[in-house]
Chain A
Amino acid sequence: MKVLVTVKEVAAVEDEFEIDGTAIDEAYLEYDLNEWDDYAIEEGVQISESEDDVEVVSVTIGPERSEETIRMALAKGADRAVRVWDDSLEDAEMLDVEAKTNLLAAVVEEEEPDLVLSGVQADDDGFGATGVSLADEVGFEWAAVVNDLELDVEGGVASVRRELEGGVEELTDVDLPAVLTIQTGINEPRYASLRGIRQAQRKEIKPMTLDDLGLSADVAESDLEIVDMYEPETESDATLFEGSPDETAGQLAEVLRDGGVGQ
């Protein structure tokens, strides 16, 4: 059985930052593994530990910089990785859901996995759509926002819990092959061990260009355009206490006492 885990390197913004045009100034961005994908990797690795003959392959769309993130997935136990990148993607202002879907679909066709695990959403652009869109494109079954997974490999069924709103979970069986979008909390992502990190250095990260995937440059073309980026106008009328911690705590304590707290 083969499990493909889609992994994204996301940018997080520092507390203080500046916007340059329609993007955040690069100087204020820090890159890291997308939180949700960390859980997806762990889920894939746990499957490989509990079932026989499972290969876990991670796939990333990203520039060379993202190899650091890919190595993290490899250090945690993925067997090998695929990195999709191309000069023509470099020039694209953003990759929309459709573009990511088509790129990943080409990888799915190449790898023919039985199960694809992706994160519910990426922390930066937060579309929350790629996994389910990909499922449609490659003709897989799917389930979104999964916080529990039991596989019946022989029976070809994944029994999942989907985390709905308001503390309600939906229990659903989906046929394999399937794409599942993984929710945080489904497992406890491991830290990479030193041994894992060493091993990761020797694992394969296969670069794939659009040519390799049989795609043309217009795959990155988007009907979406970000025309403005700004800090949301704060509707805040919060009273901010100022001073040393003792002073601010004192002022807050007064408000709380006036409100009958701790009396």
Chain B
Amino acid sequence: MSDVLAVAEHRRGELRDVSYELVTVGSEVADATGGDLHLAVISGDVDAHAEALNLEGVDAIHTVDHGEEFNHDVYAQVVEQVYDAVDPQVLLTPNSVNGLDYGPAVANALDLTYVSDAVGVEFDGSTLTATREMYSGKVETTTEVEAESVAVSIRSAEWPATETAGDASIEAFDATVDEDAVKSTVKGFEEVGGGDVDITEADVLVSVGRGIEEEENLDLVRDLADALDATLSSSRPIVDNGWLPKNRQVGQSGKVVTPDFYIAIGISGAVQHVAGMKGAENIVAINTDPNAPIYDIADYGIVDDLFEVVPALIEEFEG
């Protein structure tokens, strides 16, 4: 029998989707060996969050009412204490930006083997088998962990959310937070990426990635956007390079878009990019690499050089 402890995630008053997905993975893993699924809900409105997470498959919810927002020093201390009390075989955390900010520290402190960004998890009580991507999604690996204790961070949006109500016990966990060990202060939040255009409103997006190579070449995709009466957006490296402003960035740390047509030009389709555009009605990919992950979600594709295809496409609409 193997128990599982999963740590919920919330931000600015709201539970994040991955919390519901953690319940799905956690109950699968716990059920496989007849163990229990425990959830830790830390900081913020813990009672409301615990109520919302009282879902099928969850056996016990441990709440720790300490501060409003995520602070990694608090999370690290509290998760370690809940872990020691529950004594689970598997610790599950989200592979989110905040998950990356405490998961590895907790795993190291508790001497757990850490497997990050899992897209599949199976556990038979002694061996945990995780599916992970490597080389920017070009290959998948099956990774086995022969360990007493293992911590796995799970990729968001890979598992369905659990929504059915459950009957878990909800209890305040008596954690002791050593304030002297809290050496970071979260001072606030800021929304970035405002400005003149709102790419989330566009019906058609011409989106450009690193395949465009040089800033000068952006004119080519600008011309295409004009010809199609579309809005120009991009993957992250284009914004990192300062070639387009932040408000044009599609993806995890940019905007989530759902246009009728999303035309990805020279974009590989990294998971953090796909997070922002997989909801598009029609996805078109123009990419020289037939193995690029973007083709897994594309509806239409041209496996060819963008510098040949894009001018021809402009010609079609303007010629």
Q: Give the B-binding residues of A (Cβ under 8 A).
A: 11-13, 15-17, 19, 22, 24, 96-98, 101, 120, 123-133, 135-137, 141-145, 161-175, 181, 184-185, 188, 222-232, 234-241, 245-246, 248-250, 252-253, 255-256, 259-262
For A237, list chain B residues within 8 Å (CB). Answer: 299
Most buried by A among B108, B252, B254, B290: B108
B100 within 8 A of A: yes
B197 within 8 A of A: no
Q: Is the CB of B190 within 8 A of A168?
A: yes
Q: Is the interface of B mostly helix, strand, loop or mixed?
A: mixed
For B301, list chain A residues within 8 Å (CB). Answer: 238-241
Q: Is the interface of A mostly helix, strand, loop or mixed?
A: mixed
Q: Is the CB of B107 within 8 A of A223?
A: no
B316 within 8 A of A: yes
Q: How far is the CA of A130 from the CA of B311 in the complex (A)?
A: 44
Q: Is the CB of A16 within 8 A of B97?
A: no
B295 within 8 A of A: yes
For A127, list chain B residues within 8 Å (CB). Answer: 114, 116-117
Question: Given A162-B97, A165-B97, A236-B295, are A171 and B188 also a contact pair (CB < 8 Å)?
Answer: yes
Q: How far is the CA of A136 from the CA of B109 in the complex (A)?
A: 7
Other-chain residue from A96, A184, A232, A262 in contact with B236 (beta carbon distance below 8 A)? A184
Q: Give the A-binding residues of B (Cβ under 8 A).
A: 11, 72-73, 76, 95-98, 100-109, 113-117, 132-147, 150, 183-193, 204, 227-230, 236-237, 239-242, 246, 252-256, 260-261, 282, 284-285, 288-291, 293, 295-305, 308-309, 311-313, 315-317
Q: Is the CB of A223 within 8 A of B261?
A: no
Q: Is the CB of A126 within 8 A of B133?
A: yes
Q: Is the CB of B137 within 8 A of A15?
A: no
For A259, list chain B residues within 8 Å (CB). Answer: 260-261, 282
3 closest pairs, A vs B, by CB? Answer: A249-B312, A185-B240, A253-B316
